Structure 1
Amino acid sequence: MSIKLVAVDIDGTLITDQRQITPEVFEAVQDAKKQGVKVVIATGRPIAGVKQLLNDLKLDEPGNYVITFNGGLVQETSSGQDIISETMSYDDYMEIELLGRKLGVHMHAITKDGIYTANRNIGKYTVHESNLVNMPIFYRTAEEMADKAIVKIMFIDEPEILDAAIAKLPKAFYEKYNVVKSAPFYLEILNKTVSKGEAIKHLAEKLDLTLDQTMAIGDEENDRAMLEIVGTPVVMANGNPKLKEIAKYITKSNNDSGVAHALREWVLD
C-alpha cells in the first residue's frame, strides 16, 4: 500500500545542524507534494517556530497540515484552523511548578502566543528556546498563570541538573502526564493523551487514510510515539540508537539530506 502521509520531525531530521533545508530535501518534498503525498511537519516547537519552514517548503498552502507542541496542536497551515488543540489546566501548572522548585530545576510554560517563566532570573535555556522558536518571553508569577491556555510545560536546565531532577520524578508523574526528553537540556510535559503519534492517528482518520499509508521520520525520544504508530517508521542515521531498534528503515543523517533519501527510496514512484 502506497504511503500518502509523511510526518517529519525538524531538529536533527528535516534540517541540518546549521538549521538549513538542503536543496535535496526541498526538491524531494516538492516531488512528494506533486505525487499527492501529505508532508506534515511534526515537532515539539510551537507554531511560531515552524512558520518560516512551512513557507520555505511551500507547506503553507491550502490542504497542508502541521503538528506542533509534540501533538498538542494540529492546524491547517494556510488558515490556522485548529484540528486538535489540547491545553493543560492551571492545577497542572501549579503542581508542575511546585515540583520544579522542589527539584531545583528551571521551568517554563508555553502557549500559542509566548513562553512564560516564573524565574525572575530567566534561565539561558528559556532564552535559547525563545530564539529557536521565535516567541517572546513573559515573566509571570505562578498566580498570574490562571487564565493562560498552556499547551506544554518544560523543565529546562543544564543536562546534569536536569538528569538529576528526572531521576527523582515520582512514578505517578509519568502516569499522569506525557513526559518526553527532546534534548539533553529539555524535558517536555504534556497532557497524557497528547503525543505526535495520537496527532498522526487523528489526522490520518480525517484524511481517510489507514496507518499503513503513513510514514514518520525522526531522530529522538519525542518521536517515539509517532514512529510506533505509523506503518513505516524511519529513523535518521544520527538518531537515538534505541529508536533504531523500532525502525523499519534507517535513512541518511540530517546533514546528508536523510529526509530526501527516505522520500525517494520508500515513498516516491
Structure 2
Amino acid sequence: MDMIAIDLDGTLLNSGNEISENNIQAIRRAQSEGVEVVIATGRAAFDVRNLFSDLDLKTWVIAANGATIHRPDGTLFSSIPMEKEDVIEVLAWLEEKGFYYEAIDDEAILTPQNGRELMNIELDRIRSANPNTNLTRLEKAAEKQFSQSGFSHVDSYEEIVDRKRNVYNILTFSFEEEKLQKGWERFKDYPDLTLVSSANHNFEVEHRLASKGNAVKQLAQQLNLSIERTAVIGDSLNDLSMINMAGNSAAMGNAKTEVKEACQFLTKTNDEDGVAHAIDHFLAY
C-alpha cells in the first residue's frame, strides 16, 4: 500500500470514544513501512488534533468530510468552503424548523446556545409518546455529539454569517426520523451542495466538490501516490465516496450494510481493534 485513509467515529474510535493501543501500534507499523496514513473524518481538524494531542502520531487529516486537508504539522493544505448564500439558506431554514446544528469554520464548531435544550425537547417527545422506551442509546448519542472540542455558541445563525469566516460543513442532528427526512428532502437536490449522513441521527451539507473521496484522490496526486494502492477503512455512508475512489477498502464489523457491500474486506468492529486488523491485512498484501 502507498496510503491508508482511516475514518474516525465508529472506525478508529471505539464506543468509549478512545483510540486503542493496538490501533495506535498498527498505524505506527504502517508508517514505519513507508505507508502514508491519513485520518479522514467529518469532524473539524482542530477537534482531531485535540484527540491526538496525547499521542505521538502525526498524520495528514482530511476533515469536515473532505472540505479541508491539513498537513501532519497541522497547517492547512487546501479547503473548499461553502458559498455564503448556501450557508445563509441552510442555517436560516434549520433554525426556523428548530433543528440542532453544528457549523464548522477554521476556528470553532458554531452551534445554537440552546442546543442541549433542543435535543432534550426531542427526547421528552419520544419519552411522552413511548413511556417504556429505553432512551440510554439516544442519550449516549447526544453526549458523543457534545464530546467534541472547540464549541462556540451563538444566539442566531446571523452571528455565524456576521463573523465572515469560511464555513466548511453544516451538520444537522435530530432523534426524530421524520424531521430528519424533511431536512434531507429539503436539500437533496441543491446543485451546489453535497448531502451525506455520517451516523443514524444526522445529515451533513457542504460544497458540492467536497467529499472524502475527492480529498483522498487529491492527496494521492499531491504526494505522487497511487490511488490503486490506496486503502480506506470506514463504517458509515459518508465513507462511500472514498471507498469508491480507492483501489482497496475495508468495512468495519459495525459498518452500515451499504458500506459492507461496497468494500472488498470485512474487518472486526471498532471495539475489537478492527482498524489494526485491517491495517495488518493491507500490509500483508
Regarding TM over 0.5, the answer is yes
Match of 2:80 in 1: 86
Given that residues 113 and 153 in structure 2 are in contact (C-alpha distance below 8 angstroms), is that contact kept between their aligned partners in structure 1? no
Quick one: which amino acid aligns to residue 121 of structure 1? N
Alpha-carbon distance, 1:107 to partner = 2.8
Match of 1:49 in 2: 47
Match of 2:274 in 1: 258
Matches within 5 A, 1:63-212: 64-78=59-73, 80-101=74-95, 103-117=97-111, 119-123=112-116, 128=143, 131-144=146-159, 145-146=161-162, 147-160=164-177, 162-166=179-183, 168-169=185-186, 171-173=188-190, 175-212=191-228
Q: Which runs of 5+ in 1 are unaligned?
A: none
Given that residues 87 and 191 in structure 1 are in contact (C-alpha distance below 8 angstroms), is that contact kept between their aligned partners in structure 2? yes
Alpha-carbon distance, 1:99 to partner = 2.7
Match of 1:226 in 2: 242
Match of 1:29 in 2: 27
Given that residues 32 and 268 in structure 1 are in contact (C-alpha distance below 8 angstroms), is that contact kept between their aligned partners in structure 2? no
Per-residue CA deviation, residues 60-87 of structure 1 (Å, 9 max, x unaligned), is: 2xxx311111111101121x22221111
Aligned residue for 2:228, secondary structure, equals helix
Given that residues 197 and 238 in structure 2 are in contact (C-alpha distance below 8 angstroms), is that contact kept between their aligned partners in structure 1? yes
Given that residues 48 and 133 in structure 1 are in contact (C-alpha distance below 8 angstroms), is that contact kept between their aligned partners in structure 2? no
Per-residue CA deviation, residues 110-154 of structure 1 (Å, 9 max, x unaligned), is: 21211223x452345698577422112221533331412111112
Q: Which runs of 5+ in 2 are unaligned?
A: 121-141
Quick one: which amino acid aligns to residue 77 of structure 2? I
Given that residues 83 and 207 in structure 2 are in contact (C-alpha distance below 8 angstroms), is that contact kept between their aligned partners in structure 1? no
Alpha-carbon distance, 1:186 to partner = 2.0
Partners of 1:138 and 1:246 in 2: CA distance = 38
Given that residues 155 and 162 in structure 1 are in contact (C-alpha distance below 8 angstroms), is that contact kept between their aligned partners in structure 2? no
Given that residues 66 and 77 in structure 1 are in contact (C-alpha distance below 8 angstroms), is that contact kept between their aligned partners in structure 2? yes
**Under a length normalisation based on structure 1, what TM-score does the superposition of the two structures give?**
0.88
Given that residues 188 and 195 in structure 2 are in contact (C-alpha distance below 8 angstroms), is that contact kept between their aligned partners in structure 1? no
Aligned residue for 1:183, secondary structure, equals coil
Q: CA RMSD in A?
A: 2.3
Quick one: which amino acid aligns to residue 71 of structure 1? G
Given that residues 184 and 203 in structure 2 are in contact (C-alpha distance below 8 angstroms), is that contact kept between their aligned partners in structure 1? no
Partners of 1:57 and 1:33 in 2: CA distance = 14
Given that residues 105 and 161 in structure 1 are in contact (C-alpha distance below 8 angstroms), is that contact kept between their aligned partners in structure 2? no
Partners of 1:130 and 1:170 in 2: CA distance = 22
Partners of 2:109 and 2:20 in 1: CA distance = 30
Per-residue CA deviation, residues 219-249 of structure 1 (Å, 9 max, x unaligned), is: 0011111111000011001100011111011
Aligned residue for 2:195, secondary structure, equals strand
Match of 1:213 in 2: 229
Aligned residue for 1:194, secondary structure, equals coil
What is the number of residues matched between the two proteins?
A: 261
Q: What is the percent sequence identity of the aligned residues? A: 29
Alpha-carbon distance, 1:22 to partner = 1.8
**Under a length normalisation based on structure 2, what TM-score does the superposition of the two structures give?**
0.83
Aligned residue for 2:77, secondary structure, equals strand
Partners of 1:170 and 1:198 in 2: CA distance = 21
Given that residues 92 and 157 in structure 2 are in contact (C-alpha distance below 8 angstroms), is that contact kept between their aligned partners in structure 1? no
Q: Does 1:18 align with 2:16?
A: yes
Given that residues 227 and 246 in structure 1 are in contact (C-alpha distance below 8 angstroms), is that contact kept between their aligned partners in structure 2? yes
Query: CA, structure 1 residues 28+56, in 2 after alignment: closer, same or farther (shift >3 Å)?
Result: farther
Given that residues 29 and 57 in structure 1 are in contact (C-alpha distance below 8 angstroms), is that contact kept between their aligned partners in structure 2? no
Match of 1:238 in 2: 254
Alpha-carbon distance, 1:171 to partner = 4.6
